[in-house]
Structure 1
Amino acid sequence: MKFLSDSEVITVAMNLEEEGAKFYEEAAKISKNKETKDIFSRLKKEEDEHYKTFKELLETLPGADSKGYFDISEEISAYLNSLVDSGVFKNTPKAGIKQLGEAAALRIGVNAERDSILFYTQAHIASTNPQGREVLSRIIDIEKEHLVTLTNRLRIARKLF
């Protein structure tokens, strides 16, 4: 077993939300379809809210000597580290999201939300912090809504674009 502190896991979550907000902001800028633009704009705002929620949670945690740890397997640790290293929103071209188009941006969003749900679910399972578990549970539900929204919009986009 490997141990990560609550603050380490929450910091990863904050990074995921920050990357997501930036991605959705850029995706909204390139979207020509109003409904797609509105979806990306709404998701950006929600990712910003998640970031704030995690930041507030981080500020309530005890200091570095805290006993709040996530007890995780080596396999899950490797998965979490790969998310940190690659980032769930970092598979966009170097030139930026402008080259992708709306349908590709929607696909990236779907994959990123799926990865986020996996991350938050593993963190929820491993957490011993009741407050952290409650926050993660709420975020998981919202991320699932994001996944459904993006998947439904992608189905429509395939017909439109």
Structure 2
Amino acid sequence: MDVKLFSDLEGLRIAMSIEAAGREFYQQACQQAKEESHKDLFRLLKREEISHYETFSEIFDQVKSNKEAGSDEYLFDEETSRYLTVLAEGHIFPIGEEAEVKIAEAATIVEILYMAVQAEKDSILFYDELASKSKFPEAKKIFTLLKAEEQTHVVKLRQILDALLIIHGK
């Protein structure tokens, strides 16, 4: 099996894709939410995904302009590349029509929150791996910061989820 080797640049490109999908997911979730407090949460998370995308775009352009970025020296090893490929295949958040369908199929806000928590956890794994393997210091720093930010998303989402479960007696 021929494995496409990842580089920091490829990791950044996929991270941008994840953030764009997250933005769309939270937009869809906001439209689906009935309570204003839930809409506010999804709007906040959407804005954070937009901010992350903009940051990644800037870093991507910086890394891409670096002549060394395309060299073999910045490729991850084959095993790491396989692992990152598996993590990135689903792009963490459902995208496009898949996101619309999944959110529409969710009968309750609780189901949407479970999807969001899982997507954020998956993005944490991806960013953690990218940070640990990144060869560009600026990319490593950004992946580490993004991992921490996604961890705060998980905590926020989990707190709301727990409160809803208590309210609904589950």
Indicate whether 1:71 and 2:71 are aligned.
no
| Count of residue pairs the alignment pairs up | 160
Q: Pick the aligned partner of 1:17 from 12, 16, 19.
A: 19
Structure ranking higher in helix proportion: 2
Correspondences of 1:5-44 after superposition (within 5 Å): 5-44=7-46
* Counterpart position of 2:116: 109
How many angstroms does 1:110 deviate by? 0.4
Q: 1:89 to 1:157 in 2, by over 3 A?
A: same
Distance in 2, Cα, partners of 1:93 & 1:127? 30
Indicate whether 1:87 and 2:91 are aligned.
yes
Identity among equivalent positions (%) equals: 32
Q: Deviations over 1:96-149 (max 9, x none)?
A: 412213111100110011000000000000011111111112111111100100
Write out the 4+ residue segments of structure 1 that deviate beyond 6 Å after TM superposition.
Answer: none
TM-score (norm 1): 0.88
Q: What's the Cα RMSD here?
A: 2.3
How many angstroms does 1:80 deviate by? 1.9
* Counterpart position of 1:97: 103
Q: Deviations over 1:52-109 (max 9, x none)?
A: 10010010112463466253451x4333212332222229677341221311110011
**Structure 1: 5+ residue stretches without partners:** none
Q: 1:5 to 1:34 in 2, by over 3 A?
A: same
CA contact (8 A) 1:72 1:126 kept: no
Distance in 2, Cα, partners of 1:94 & 1:30? 10
Distance in 2, Cα, partners of 1:39 & 1:94? 18
Q: 1:82 to 1:49 in 2, by over 3 A?
A: same
Indicate whether 1:158 and 2:162 are aligned.
no
Indicate whether 1:137 and 2:144 are aligned.
yes
TM-score (norm 2): 0.83
Q: 1:70 to 1:111 in 2, by over 3 A?
A: farther
